[in-house]
A and B are shown apart, each in its own frame.
Chain A
Amino acid sequence: MREETLIPKVGVVTDIRQDTPDVKTFRVVGLDGKKVFEHIPGQCAMLSVPGVGEGMFSITSSPTNTEFMEFSIKKCGCLTSWLHMMEVGQQITIRGPYGNGFPVESALKGKDLLFIAGGIGLAPLRSVINYVRDKKENYGSVHIIYGSRSMDDLVDYKEIIDEWCNDAGVKVDLTIDRPQEGWDGHVGFIPSFVEELSPDLSRTVLICGPPIMIKFTLDGLKKLGFEESQVYTTMELRMKCAIGKCGRCNIGNKYVCKDGPVFRFDQLAELPDEY
C-alpha cells in the first residue's frame, strides 16, 4: 500500500514546560526516541489526540536540534485544552512537515534580520531565530522585538533572557502592553514600539502575531520606509488536510498549508484579503 501522509505516526511527549498561564511547550519524539521527521524553520505539523481532534502547530524548535521537536501551544479550545492536560509519557499523533517554511537557505542568507513577534506568534519565529543563531556565519546581525500582554505572557522568557540576550550579534527588545510590578522594561503596544525603535531599513523582517498586530506593525514599517517585499509573515487559517486538497485554507488561488504559511507582503498584496 502507498504511503499516506494523512495517516499520522505516534509521537511521545517527553517534556512539558509551562511557559505562560495559557501556553505550554511540549517536546515530542517518535516511538524510537528520535525525531519523527526533519523540517525547515516555519514549517508545521499536524498533532492530534484521537477522538478529540487534529490541529496545525508550528514546529518551534530549530532543525539544528537533532534530538527532538518542540511545540508551543496556546490553550484556546477543545484539542489544545486536552493537550494542556497531558503528562509526560503521553502519546499523541503527528504528521508533517507541512508548508513552505522561511527561505533560510535562499532569500534570508547573508541578511541582517529583524524579528517582530506578538504573544504566541513567537512560536514559528523561534525556530528561525535559533537556526540563525546556530549558523551565525551565514547571516548578518539579528534584532528581535517581542511583546505580550504582560510579563507572564512572554513565551520562552527564560531562553530569551539566558540565551538570546547574552548572544553577541543578537539585540533583544521586549515590551508588555500595560505597566506591571517587577517590570522595568518597555511598556506599550508592539506597532508603536517598532516605530519608536526605528530599526535599520536594510533589514529583512519576519513578523508573526495576532492579525491586528501584524496589520498595524506592517503599516508602521511602511511609514518608516520598509518595502512590502522585505517583510515576511506566516499565516494562520483553518486547516484540515495540510496538503492543499481539502480546500479549506485558501487565500485566492493559494493554499496556505502548501503554498504558505510563509508569505511576503508583496505576494499577499496581490491576493484577496480574506485572512
Chain B
Amino acid sequence: MKKISIDRLNELFAAIAASKALYMPVDDGKNGAKYSKWSEGTEYSKAANTKRSAKDFFFPQVEDMAEFNVNGKEIEIIDTREECEEFVVFGVRACDAKSFEILDSVYLVDPVDSYYASRREHGIIMTMACNKPTDTCFCSAFGIDASNPMGDISCWMNDSDLLLSANTEKGQALLDSINILDEADDNAADDTKAAIKAILEKLPLFGLSTEGMKGKTLMEVFNSDKWAELSESCLGCGTCTFVCPTCQCYDIRDYDTGHGVMRYRCWDSCMYSDFTLCAHGNTRTTQLQRFRQRFMHKLVYYPENNGGVFGCVGCGRCLRSCPISMNIVKVMKTLEG
C-alpha cells in the first residue's frame, strides 16, 4: 500500500496529469458534483457522489460511429474511430466501479463493442472509499463493499493521508510511475474501513433484501399484480435510465453534417413509448409494460443471463432524481411483500 499526505493531493494530481488526462468529481455549485478534467487549481469534491454516473467515460451520451459520403449512387464509408486518449478517473465510488463490470458483460462479449472497449483499455479507474454514504445508498444489498471499492487502484482518505492500493497491472504501473508516494502498512486503511462499515450498517436502506426475486421464476415476477400500482404514476420521463450507471440502451441515428452523413449513437430509454415501436405495431403499448421492463431487466433478466448478478449497484441516483419518487427500492420492497 502507498500513501501521500492529503496536503500534497495537488502534487499527486499534477503527477498523474503530467502523462494522462485526469478527471475527478468537482462541486457543481448546486449541492452536487460532476466529473471535470483536472488542471492546476481544480478542487476535488467531498460530495457523496456525482449526480451523473461515471458511465459517460466509457459509454458517452452521444458518440459518432462512422461517416458516409454519398455521391450519386455511390457510397463511401469512412471509419472515424480514433485511438482514445490515456485517461484516469479519480474518485469513483464502489457502486460506479461495479457498474463498469455490468456494462462489460454487455459490451465486451462477442462481438465486442470497439468504441467501449477502446475506452476501457485506455482508462484507469481510481476508486475512493465512501466516508459519507447517504440515506439513498444501498450498494450492500448487491454485495458491494463501499469501504473497499474495486477499480484499478483503490483509495482511502483519513484525516492525514490518502492511501492507495493497486488491484490490476494497469493500476500498479500507474502507482509505480509516481515517485512522490510513500510506503504504507498493508493494514493502514483498516481503521478507515471499519469506520465506514459502522456508518454503512446504520443507513436506512442497509439490509434491503433481494428476496423479492429469489425462488421465483421469471414469469412469476413478470406476472405479479404489483406492477400496476407501482407504475401507476410513472411519467415515462426516462430520468431514471439516464442517471443510472448500468442502463445500457442506445439508439443509432444519422445526421447530415453538411458534407456527408454521420451515424451516431445516443442513450435511449426503455421508458419511452417509441422505444419498441415497429412496423407491425408496438410491443409495449402501456407505461406499465415499459416500467416493468426497466425493473425486470435490472432484477430478473440481467441476473438470469449473468450468473445471478443483479443489474443494479444501489447507487441511489434513481431515488434522488425521480420526479414522482418512484424507484427500484420501492419496487424491490413491494415485490417482496
Q: Which A residues lie at the B interface, using CB under 8 A?
A: 1-10, 50-54, 76-77, 87, 89-93, 210-211, 236-238, 240-241, 243-248, 250, 252-253, 270-272, 274-275
* Chain B binding surface, main DSSP class: mixed
Pair B250/A7 contact, Cβ less than 8 Å: no
Chain A interface, DSSP helix/strand/loop, else mixed: loop
Q: Which of B29-37, B73-81, B87-95, B324-332 contacts A (4 or more CB under 8 A)?
A: B73-81
Q: How far is the CB of A67 from the nearest CB of chain B, in Å?
A: 21
Most buried by B among A10, A52, A245, A275: A245
Kindly list chain A residues whose C-beta atoms are within 8 Å of the C-beta of B254: 50-53
Question: Does residue B142 face the partner (Cβ distance < 8 Å to A)?
Answer: no
Q: Which of B280, B283, B304 sits near A253, CB closer than 8 Å?
A: B304
Pair A241/B218 contact, Cβ less than 8 Å: no
Shortest distance from the beta carbon of A173 to any chain B beta carbon, whole Å:
25
State the Cβ distance, A89 to closest chain B Cβ, in Å: 5
B263 at the interface (CB under 8 A from A): yes
Interface residues of B in 57-86 (CB under 8 A from A): 65-66, 68, 70, 73-77, 79, 81, 83
Between A and B, 16 residue pairs with Cβ closer than 8 Å are A1-B83, A4-B81, A5-B111, A6-B113, A76-B279, A93-B75, A211-B280, A237-B278, A240-B252, A241-B252, A246-B268, A248-B249, A252-B296, A253-B301, A253-B304, A271-B219
* Shortest distance between the CB of B72 and any CB in chain A (Å): 9
Q: A50-B68, A236-B278, A248-B275 are in contact. List 11 more A-B contacts (CB 8 A).
A: A1-B114, A2-B112, A2-B118, A4-B115, A50-B261, A90-B73, A245-B250, A252-B301, A253-B300, A274-B293, A275-B283
Instruction: Give the residues in chain B near A236, CB-CB below 8 Å.
Output: 278-280
Q: In the complex, A220 Cα to B117 Cα: how many Å? A: 49
- Residues on B with C-beta less than 8 A from A244 are 106
Whether the Cβ atoms of B114 and A3 lie closer than 8 Å is yes
Distance, CA A272 to CA B296, complexed state (A): 11
Q: For B268, what are the chain A residues with a Cβ–Cβ distance below 8 Å?
A: 246-248
Chain A nearest CB, measured from B265 CB (Å): 8
Q: Closest chain B residue to A4 by CB distance?
A: B114
Task: Among A6, A91, A275, point to the contact of B74 (Cβ < 8 A).
Answer: A91
B280 contacts A210, C-beta separation under 8 Å: yes
Q: Does B107 contact A (CB under 8 A)?
A: yes
Given contacts A1-B81, A91-B75, A240-B252, contact A247 B284 (CB under 8 A): no
Complex CA gap A274/B113 in Å reads 27
| Residues on B facing A (Cβ under 8 Å) | 65-66, 68, 70, 73-77, 79, 81, 83, 106-107, 111-115, 117-118, 218-219, 222, 248-252, 254, 256, 261, 263, 265, 268, 270, 275-281, 283-284, 289, 293, 296-297, 300-302, 304-305
Q: Which residues of B contact A211 (CB under 8 A)?
A: 280-281
CA distance A238 to B261 in the complex (A): 23
When the two chains form their complex, are residues B248 and A7 in contact, meaning their CB atoms are under 8 A apart? no
The 10 A-B residue pairs whose C-beta atoms are closest, nearest first, are: A247-B249, A50-B68, A253-B301, A238-B278, A50-B261, A51-B261, A2-B114, A253-B304, A91-B75, A4-B114
B73 / chain A contacts, CB cutoff of 8 Å: 87, 89-91
Contacts of A90 in B (CB 8 A): 73
Given contacts A90-B73, A245-B106, contact A7 B111 (CB under 8 A): no
In angstroms, Cα B300 to Cα A9, docked, is 37
Q: Is the CB of A7 within 8 A of B219?
A: no
Q: Is the CB of A274 within 8 A of B284?
A: yes
Q: Which residues of A contact B277 (CB under 8 A)?
A: 238
Q: How far apart are the CA atoms of A53 and B248 in the complex, in Å?
A: 21
Once bound together, how far apart are the Cα atoms of A253 and B311, in whole Å?
12
Residues from chain B with a CB closer than 8 A to the CB of A53 are: 254
